Amino acid sequence: MGARRRGLSKWWWLGPLIGASALAAILAWRGASPTEEARARQGQGGAVRVARRETRPTLDPARFVGKARLAHQVARDIPDVLDQLYCYCECDKTIGHKSLLSCFTDGHAAT
């Protein structure tokens, strides 16, 4: 019995080693690459792209002066950001706007 006990105690580390290796392999496999859907939504630089709600173009900043011109230029430069922001003047209820970007498509932002 002593010889058998010594033989088993020599291999005690094999079970935990196999278990840890299997766990590491499963974790590596699950987190290895993003899904096809996530890859399709990624834009330049790995940023996730969101579908735009407002599709109309913004008004030309040259039609305005002062702060209104600057605001319309910003709207033209970063439309994806403004399209994700809620407009607090509640123009979505009264005029049918979809986001803050909508205000820059019809002159509402200049008033």
List the chain domain ranges: 2-46, 61-110
Give the DSSP H or E segment for 14. helix 14-30
Q: pLDDT tens, 22-42?
A: 888 887 777 655 565 555 555
Segment 42-101, tens digit of pLDDT? 555 556 566 778 888 999 999 999 999 999 999 999 998 988 888 888 887 888 888 888
CB of 52 closer than 8 Å to CB of 80: yes
74, 78, 83, 80: which is closest to 101 by C-alpha?
A: 83
pTM: 0.53
